[in-house]
């Protein structure tokens, strides 16, 4: 069974010290599904995405990305941590886009996009360069390859960051509030790239405050609060006809 | 009628006829009395120093001039420069190695590197130098060989460790400890998001270190290393106690013979000062260059505040 592009979580729990930030999270994302995670800040949306990318280790529960237990191997009695190399290999199949872009400032846009294939997959440089240029074109940044991150606007940097993730041919793309650090007039260009990606069948999990985008693009909207999934369903249901009082309250405050 | 006067004229202008237009008056900052007092003190001190330098005959400026470019002194200067370069090179390489161990994923390795740093920073470098010079008392013979075979070579440590090797070993090992802390500080200055982005791409630890962490920590590391270089130049004077013929030892050899202690120490000071000034020019260029890259890298406002701005309102 090919489980590429799927995310599966059951009873997922994560705490920092005594503070439980994610509790009994159940999640099932099919290949090509677009999931928007909404909720107030501190509700655990970012932490959930960071767990799915393996940046945070979960305390308990099941977490499978692309059909593989992330970072661990299940035995009959326990989860055994994988070797660093094996974890790194799993991560190459998951793309992550950060709120603060996190482009490498010592590299040009093109080198940033090439960094994954060349430094991790040891792909030939010439081919990676062509691929990088094609990816930059696909995010609307033709001719910006030689620019360093500091020469680009926030929206442009975020689009380079998306291209950098895509260069690894991930099966799942995670977006951690990708437009929250942008000037309002730059939000649209990043959302357009993400929309395009969604139409091409990429599995995407997006933590966002852009309700319009969630309504238009998402297959599923998840509302989180206090580390719990409070409500999930079709965008029209969750956003248009919320059942939980906490969801209603949140939506009233943001719309 | 709203106003009968020119709107840019203030009430103050109207009281005094002939006052200039308020929009074109210069803005003046008066110097406080304290600044004048400070200037007077500064000039008095300068005059005092100059007077004693010129009138006190014990300075023996003719002797200073005579020995400033004497062959022994110049040879000592070359030795000092060579020692500085050798010790900085070895110190920086070993320091980088220790710094990498210091951030290792393996705890015992981290502990070892930490112990190294603690020991070499926690004991005086002068004591370390004398220790290395006398290491033969501790290990008289060094056997280099292939374990479990008969192939081996005994080395007399007393002959191996000359004064200069002890000096290079001592200063390099000590420098490595400080340099390791500089590297570690540099590594720590790299934004956490950068490491997460690298992790997210699946980069190995080695690649992450070489391609992401080291290049980005250079703005912190290079200026600090430049300072260490200047410091090391002066620190080499310590090895005179081992009898290495560097600058200080060279002048000591001369005044032991001629008893012209003060003028010869001045000769040494002049050379130390000249070399330090020569080194601080490239150092300031390096600092400026890296403060610019840093500003660009972090998207912060272009320049750091100048020292006077940090001291308070200086107008």
pLDDT tens, position by position, for chain A (255 residues)? 578 999 999 999 999 999 999 999 999 999 999 999 999 988 999 999 999 999 999 999 999 999 999 999 999 999 999 998 999 999 999 999 999 999 999 999 999 999 999 999 999 999 999 999 999 999 999 999 999 999 999 999 999 999 999 999 999 999 999 999 898 888 999 999 999 999 998 999 999 999 999 999 999 999 999 999 999 999 999 999 999 999 999 999 887
* The pLDDT value given to residue B74: 93
pLDDT at B301: 38
pLDDT at B309: 45
Instruction: For residue B244, report the phi and psi dihedrals to the nearest 5 degrees.
Output: -75, 135
pLDDT of residue B302: 38
Give the CA diameter of chain B. 114
CA pair distance A127, A108, nearest whole angstrom: 17
Half-sphere exposure of B171 (CA within 13 A, CB side): 29
Strand pairing class (B141-145; B152-156): antiparallel
A81 Cβ under 8 Å from any chain B Cβ: no
B190 touches chain A (CB under 8 A): no
Contact at 8 Å (CB) between A61 and A13? Answer: yes
Contact of A94 with chain B, judged by CB distance below 8 Å, is answered with: yes
* B300 and A CB contact within 8 Å: no
Tokens representing residue B312 in the block: 């308070």
Whether residue B15 is predicted with pLDDT greater than 60 in this model: the reply is no
Beta carbons of B199 and A55 less than 8 Å apart: yes
Q: Smallest CA–CA separation between B22 and chain A, in Å? A: 40
Q: Shortest CB distance from A88 goes to which of B191, B197, B204?
A: B204
Size of interface A-B (CB pairs under 8 A): 72
Residues B219, B290 contacting (CB under 8 angstroms): yes
Query: What is the model's pLDDT at position B159?
Result: 72
Say how far residue A115 (Cα) sits from the centre of its chain.
Answer: 19
From CA B158, how far away is CA B179, in angstroms rounded?
29
Q: Which residues contact B34 (CB under 8 A, 6 or more apart)?
A: none
Could B201 and A91 be called an inter-chain contact, meaning their C-beta atoms sit closer than 8 Å? yes
Q: What share of chain A is helix, strand, coil (3-state, %, to 5)?
A: 40, 25, 35
Q: Using CB atoms, which residue from A100, A150, A164 is nearest to B193?
A: A100
Separation between Cα atoms, residue A136 and residue A110, nearest integer Å: 8
Write the DSSP assignment of B122-160 as a string of letters. Answer: HS-HHHHHHHHHTHHHH-SEEEEE-TTSS-EEEEEHHHH
State whether A91 and B216 contact (CB < 8 Å): no
Distance of alpha carbon B275 from alpha carbon B113, whole angstroms: 33
Distance CA A141, CA A162 (A): 11
Report the residue of chain B nearest A96, measured CA to CA: B200
DSSP 3-state of A109:
helix
Q: Each residue of B226-285: pLDDT tens digit? A: 889 999 999 999 999 998 889 999 999 999 999 999 999 999 999 999 999 998 888 888
User: Do A135 and A163 contact (CB within 8 A), yes or no?
Assistant: yes
Cα gap A67→A75, rounded to integer Å: 16
User: Nearest-CA distance from B293 to chain A in Å?
Assistant: 10
The closest of B213, B226, B218 to B283, measured between CA atoms, is B226
Is the minimum CB–CB distance between B11 and chain A shorter than 8 Å?
A: no
What is the chain A residue with the closest CA to B194? A102
Q: What pLDDT score was predicted for residue B21?
A: 83
| pLDDT, averaged across chain B | 85
Q: A98 and chain B: CB distance < 8 Å anywhere?
A: yes
Q: Is A31 on the interface with B (CB under 8 A)?
A: no
| CA B232 – CA B245 distance, rounded (Å) | 16
CB A66 within 8 A of CB A5: yes
H or E segment at B251?
Answer: helix B247-258
Distance from CA of A85 to the nearest CA of B (A): 7
Could you write out the DSSP letters of every residue in B67-95? HHT-HHHHHHHHHHHHHHHHHHHHHHHHH
Per residue in B162-186, pLDDT tens? 888 899 999 999 999 999 999 999 9
What DSSP string describes A146-197? T--GGGS-HHHHHHHHHHHHHTT--SEEEEESTTTTS-HHHHHHHHHHHHHH
Using CA coordinates, name the residue in chain A closest to B302.
A150
Question: What are the counts of helices (DSSP H) followed by strands (DSSP E) for chain A?
Answer: 9, 12
**Cβ pair A105:B297 closer than 8 A:** yes
What are the backbone angles phi and psi of residue B148, rounded to the nearest 5°?
A: 65, 20
In chain A, residues with a C-beta closer than 8 Å to the C-beta of B296 are 105, 148, 150
Does residue B9 belong to the interface with chain A, where contact is any CB pair within 8 Å? Answer: no
What pLDDT is recorded for position A97? 96
User: In terms of Cα–Cα distance, which of A27, A9, A39, A49 is closest to A208?
Assistant: A39
Which residues touch A144 (CB under 8 Å, ≥6 apart)? A109, A136, A152, A156, A160
Tell me whether residues B211 and A115 touch, CB distance under 8 A: yes
* Collapsed DSSP state (helix, strand, coil) of residue A13: strand
Q: Does residue B11 surpass a pLDDT of 70?
A: no
> What does residue A234 show for φ and ψ, rounded to 5 degrees?
-65, 150
Per-residue pLDDT at B10 exceeds 70: no
Q: Do B297 and A150 touch (CB under 8 A)?
A: yes
Residue in B191, B192, B202, B206 to test binding to A, most A beta-carbons within 10 Å: B202
Smallest Cα–Cα separation from B236: which of B214, B244, A93?
Answer: B244
Nearest chain B alpha carbon to A154: B299
Q: Region B138-146: what's the mean pLDDT?
A: 75
Please report the beta strands in chain A, taking only residues with DSSP state E, as ranges in sequence order.
7-16, 19-29, 34-38, 60-65, 68-69, 72-74, 79-81, 94-97, 172-176, 203-207, 220-225, 228-233
Give phi and psi for B133, each to the nearest 5. -65, -35
Q: Which residue of A has its CA nearest to B191?
A: A102
- Separation of first and last alpha carbons in chain A: 42
- State whether residue A157 sits within 8 Å of chain B by CB: no
């Amino acid at each position: 069974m090919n489980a590429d592009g799927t995310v599966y979580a059951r009873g997922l729990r994560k705490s920092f010290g005594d503070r439980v930030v994610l509790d009994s999270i159940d999640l099932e994302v099919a290949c090509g599904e677009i999931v928007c995670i909404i909720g107030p800040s501190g509700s655990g949306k970012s932490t959930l995405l960071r767990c799915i990318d393996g940046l945070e280790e979960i305390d308990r529960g099941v977490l499978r990305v692309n059909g593989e237990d992330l970072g661990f191997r299940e035995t009959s009695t326990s989860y055994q941590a994988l070797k660093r190399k094996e974890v790194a290999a799993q991560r190459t199949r998951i793309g992550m886009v950060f709120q603060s872009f996190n482009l490498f400032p010592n590299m040009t846009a093109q080198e940033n996009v090439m960094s994954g294939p060349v430094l991790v997959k040891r792909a030939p440089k010439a081919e990676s360069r062509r691929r990088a240029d094609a990816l930059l074109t696909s995010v609307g940044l033709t001719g910006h390859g030689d620019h360093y991150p500091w020469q680009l606007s926030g929206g442009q940097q975020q689009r380079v960051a998306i291209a950098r993730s895509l260069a690894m041919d991930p099966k799942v793309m995670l977006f951690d509030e990708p437009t929250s650090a942008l000037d309002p007039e730059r939000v649209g260009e990043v959302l357009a790239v993400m929309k395009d990606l969604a139409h091409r069948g990429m599995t995407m999990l997006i933590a966002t405050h852009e309700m319009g985008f969630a309504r238009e693009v998402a297959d599923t909207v998840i509302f989180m609060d206090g580390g719990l999934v409070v409500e999930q369903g079709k965008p029209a249901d969750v956003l248009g006809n919320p059942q939980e009082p906490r969801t209603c309250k949140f939506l009233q405050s943001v719309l | 009628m709203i106003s009968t006067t020119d709107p840019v004229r203030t009430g103050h202008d109207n009281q005094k006829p002939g006052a200039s237009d308020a929009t074109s008056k210069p803005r003046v900052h008066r110097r406080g009395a304290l600044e004048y007092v400070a200037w007077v003190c500064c000039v008095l001190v300068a005059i005092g120093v100059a007077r004693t330098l010129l009138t006190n005959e014990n300075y023996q400026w003719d002797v200073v001039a005579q020995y400033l470019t004497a062959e022994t002194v110049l040879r000592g200067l070359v030795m000092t420069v060579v020692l500085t370069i050798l010790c900085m090179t070895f110190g920086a390489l070993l320091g980088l190695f220790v710094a990498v161990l210091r951030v290792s994923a393996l705890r015992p390795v981290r502990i070892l590197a930490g112990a190294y740093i603690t020991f070499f920073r926690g004991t005086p470098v002068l004591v370390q130098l004398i220790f290395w010079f006398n290491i033969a008392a501790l290990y008289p013979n060094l056997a280099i060989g292939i374990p479990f075979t008969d192939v081996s070579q005994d080395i007399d440590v007393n002959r191996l460790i000359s004064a200069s090797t002890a000096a290079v070993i001592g200063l390099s090992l000590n420098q490595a400890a400080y340099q390791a802390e500089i590297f570690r500080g540099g590594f720590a200055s790299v934004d956490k998001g950068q490491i997460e982005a690298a992790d997210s791409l699946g980069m190995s630890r080695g690649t992450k270190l070489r391609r992401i962490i080291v290049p980005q920590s250079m703005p912190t590391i290079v200026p600090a290393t430049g300072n260490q270089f200047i410091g090391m130049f002066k620190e080499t004077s310590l090895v005179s106690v081992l009898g290495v013929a560097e600058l200080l030892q060279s002048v000591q050899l001369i005044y032991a013979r001629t008893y012209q202690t003060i003028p010869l120490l001045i000769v040494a000071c002049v050379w130390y000062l000249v070399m330090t000034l020569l080194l601080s020019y490239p150092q300031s260029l390096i600092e400026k260059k890296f403060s610019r890259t840093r500003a660009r890298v972090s998207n912060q406002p272009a320049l750091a505040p100048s020292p006077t701005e940090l001291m308070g309102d200086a107008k």
